[in-house]
Amino acid sequence: MIAAAPIADTEQARDMEAFFSVEAWSAFAPGLEDDDAWMAWSRAPWLPRGDDVPTLAEMAPMQRRRVERLGRAALQVAWRCQPDDEREMPLVFATRHGDIGRTHGMLGELAHDQPLSPTQFGLSTHNAIPAQYGIARVLTGNYVVVSAGAASAEAAVVEAQALLADGAPSVLVVMFDGPTPDDYARFRDEPEAWYAWAWRLAPARTGSPTFSLRPGAPKPGGDLPHGLDVLRFFLSGERELPGADGGGWTRHA
């Protein structure tokens, strides 16, 4: 077996950067729905708490009833960022835990020898939420779902950069997550909250906020889930959000 060689110096790491622009964004969390509220939050962030659920009025009621709270948040921000005339836009959804409430409930049923609902199982998978979105909007583009622990936001943008490099004019990135059930409390390694945000990414261009992402792990610690801290960095105007090992996000314009 041949081990991969480590990145030798900063110049090599910089060569691996790819620049991109964010043409549009949307976000949802309890108590934070409109852009002004999010901008104020980015200057004095707090961990979102509450029971707010987006209306997702764009989705037909019979389809909407199949989507629980986390999915509604993810689909609401996606809907706001994807124009109706861009149905072929590639989608990258990212989540650390997915709709873990459904999975936890089914595990409880298994523990009590109760039969599982095939519908609940189908809706519990990570790709169920974007699949419901694609059906509701009659989308024709490809979609992918990534899950990379605390670095799920970074994994989503790396995937989107590959799609841009392959010729996509723009890519919709949707990051969403929620708290884990209390049975998993001892495994938590960061704060948890309900949130979802979406970015419409494009190749770097004049007139749009431009960023780059260097390979590396998220910096541990902080008062927010890392995925939500990425959004705070984006909205706050800060120049950098460093990672733990030399990686991180940089704002260029």
For residue range 26-40, list pLDDT tens digits in order.
999 999 989 999 999
Q: How confident is the model at residue 253 (pLDDT cuts 50, 70, 90)?
A: confident
CA distances from 172 to 30, 45, 67, 70 (A): 23, 25, 20, 18
Long-range contacts of 43-51, Cβ-Cβ distance < 8 Å, separation of 24 or more: 43/236, 45/223, 45/224, 45/232, 46/223, 47/191, 47/193, 47/223, 47/224, 48/193, 48/194, 48/195, 48/228, 49/193, 50/194
- The reported pLDDT for the residue numbered 16 is 45
The CATH number of residue 40's host domain is 3.40.47.10
Distances (CA, A) of 233 to 22, 39, 237, 245: 13, 11, 7, 18
For residue 114, the model assigns a pLDDT of 81
Instruction: Kindly state the average pLDDT of the residues 214-222.
Output: 88
pLDDT band at 155 (very low <50, low <70, confident <90, very high): very high
Nearest 5°: CA angle at 118, between 116 and 124?
A: 90
Assigned domain for 157 exists: yes
Residue 195: φ, ψ to 5°: -165, 160
Neighbours of 169 (CB within 10 A): 12
Place of tokens 């509701």: 136
When the pLDDT of each residue in the chain is averaged and rounded to a whole number, the result is: 86
Residue 184 pLDDT level (bands cut at 50, 70, 90):
confident
- Spell out the alpha helix ranges (H) of the chain: 10-15, 35-43, 61-64, 69-81, 100-111, 118-124, 128-137, 152-165, 226-236
Cβ atoms of 34 and 52 closer than 8 Å: no
Integer Cα distance of 37 and 24 in angstroms: 17
Residue 241 lies in a domain: yes
Burial (0-12, 13-18, 19+ Cβ within 10 Å), 96: buried
Residue 5 resides in a domain: no
Q: 188 lies in a domain?
A: yes
Residue 121 lies in a domain: yes
Q: Which domain holds residue 56?
A: 18-251
Which range (1-15, 48-62, 72-86, 206-220) has the least confidence? 1-15
pLDDT tens-digit map of 100-141: 667 767 677 677 788 767 666 556 566 788 888 999 999 999
Adjacent-strand bridge partners of 197? 27, 175
Q: Do 82 and 143 form a contact (C-beta atoms < 8 A)?
A: no
Question: Which has the minimum average pLDDT: 1-15, 83-97, 113-127, 166-180?
Answer: 1-15
Q: Which residues contact 211 (CB under 8 A, 6 or more apart)?
A: 19, 20, 21, 22, 234, 249, 250, 251, 252
Which stretch of 14-18, 40-44, 184-188 has the lowest confidence by average pLDDT? Answer: 14-18
Query: Is 230 within 8 Å of 153 (Cβ atoms)?
Result: yes
| pLDDT at res. 5 | 33
Within-domain flag for 3: no
**Quick check: is 92 in a domain?**
yes
Is the pLDDT confidence value at 160 over 90?
A: yes
- Report the alpha-carbon distance of residue 148 to residue 156 in Å, rounded: 9
Domain contains 176: yes
Q: What percent of the chain has pLDDT over 70?
A: 86
- How far is 222 from 190, CA to CA, in rounded Å? 8
User: Looking at the 3D structure of the chain, how many domains does it have?
Assistant: 1
Mean pLDDT of 172-200: 92
| Rounded Cα–Cα distance for residues 162 and 154 (Å) | 13
Position 2 scores a pLDDT of 31
